[in-house]
Amino acid sequence: MTERPRLTVVGAGPAGLAAALAAAARGVHVTLVDAADQAGGQFYRQPATALGATRPQALHHQWHTWERLRTGLARHRETGRITHLTDHHVWCVARDPLTGAFGVHALRGAAREESATVRADAVLLATGGYERVLPFPGWTLPGVVTAGGAQAMLKGGLVLPGRTAVVAGSGPLLLPVATGLAAAGARVAALV
Ligand SMILES: Cc1cc2nc3c(=O)[nH]c(=O)nc-3n(C[C@H](O)[C@H](O)[C@H](O)COP(=O)(O)OP(=O)(O)OC[C@H]3O[C@@H](n4cnc5c(N)ncnc54)[C@H](O)[C@@H]3O)c2cc1C
């Protein structure tokens, strides 16, 4: 009997989820590894379960895409084609020179003290992008947060960074952040 190939996807954001679903649909056994507690990544960051959010979609755009990815993940998890490892922070990928197989090494737990290794025939990195913040005068003052930070507070914690906000900077992220804050009840005094 031929064993199914094993793919490890690092990152359960939209890109990693799309890759995992595509591979699983073609008979590959996928291990989806993510540092976060829930799938979704930056774009589809989900509120903490304990918050009991009743309308998380109100804070998102393109929710139907998330529903498709979420449903696909649940279906493949049920059939065993995808194993989803949450709270696994990957710090190293190493290749066995003899077998050619990969070892994906992760740390888990609140203190990141437990180690875990996933074996794979191939590894796909979908670890996303990060917000790069250039310091400016006043950037450490209370009430000053990054655009991504404000959005993470809102989507992940259902918290507004303030009742009135000036959203300033460059790049397209400002637009979903400004509309997200407004939709959640903040007054966006200016988008600069
Ligand atoms: C703060 C922030 C907010 C954003 N908000 C928007 C938005 O509202 N709209 C928009 O169109 N775009 C937004 N973007 C741009 C965004 O990056 C992309 O739209 C989209 O999320 C990219 O999808 P992705 O799957 O490539 O990566 P991501 O969504 O970033 O997913 C990457 C995943 O990889 C995981 N990961 C990273 N490193 C490791 C590791 N070492 N071990 C284990 N897991 C790891 C992360 O936990 C995450 O779940 C945002 C970006 C940032 C940084």
CATH 3.50.50.60 assigned to domain 6-125? The reply is yes
The preferred substitution site among 66, 127, 179 for testing ligand 1, maximizing ligand atoms within 8 Å of CB, is 127
pLDDT of residue 4: 79
Residue 61 has pLDDT above 90, yes or no: no
Residues facing 191 on adjacent strands: 167
Residue nearest to atom 30 of ligand 1 (CA): 128
Average pLDDT taken over every residue of the chain: 94
Residue 157 has pLDDT above 80, yes or no: yes
Q: Is the CB of 41 under 6 A from ligand 1?
A: yes
- pLDDT single digits (tens) 13-29: 999 999 999 999 999 99
| Percentage of the residues of the chain whose pLDDT score is greater than 90 | 84
pLDDT band, residue 116 (cuts 50/70/90): very high
Q: Is the CB of 89 under 6 A from ligand 1?
A: yes
Cα 108–chain centre separation: 16
Residue 2 has pLDDT above 70, yes or no: no
pLDDT of residue 43: 94
Residue nearest to atom 12 of ligand 1 (CA): 43
The continuous run of DSSP H or E covering 21 comes out as helix 14-25
Which ranges in the chain are annotated with CATH 3.50.50.60?
A: 6-125
Measured between alpha carbons, how far is residue 110 from residues 29, 105, 139 in Å?
Answer: 28, 17, 29
Q: Where are the alpha helices (DSSP H) in 35-189?
A: 63-79, 147-157, 174-183
Q: Ligand 1: which atom is nearest the Cα of residue 34? A: 44
Residue 104 has pLDDT above 80, yes or no: yes
Q: Mapping DSSP to helix (H, G, I), strand (E, B) and coil, where does residue 9 land?
A: strand
* CA 130 – ligand 1 centroid, Å: 7
Residue 107 has pLDDT above 90, yes or no: yes
- pLDDT single digits (tens) 33-55: 999 999 999 999 999 889 998 88
* CA 2 – ligand 1 centroid, Å: 35
pLDDT of residue 155: 94
The continuous run of DSSP H or E covering 6 comes out as strand 6-10
Q: Is the CB of 11 under 6 A from ligand 1?
A: yes
Q: Ligand 1: which atom is nearest the Cα of residue 146? A: 1
Do the beta carbons of residue 102 and residue 109 sit within 8 Å?
A: no
Q: Is the CB of 34 under 6 A from ligand 1?
A: yes
pLDDT band, residue 5 (cuts 50/70/90): confident
Residue nearest to atom 26 of ligand 1 (CA): 128
* CA 105 – ligand 1 centroid, Å: 20
| Percentage of the residues of the chain whose pLDDT score is greater than 70 | 99
- Mean pLDDT of the 139-150 span: 95
Helix and strand element counts for the chain (H, E): 4, 9
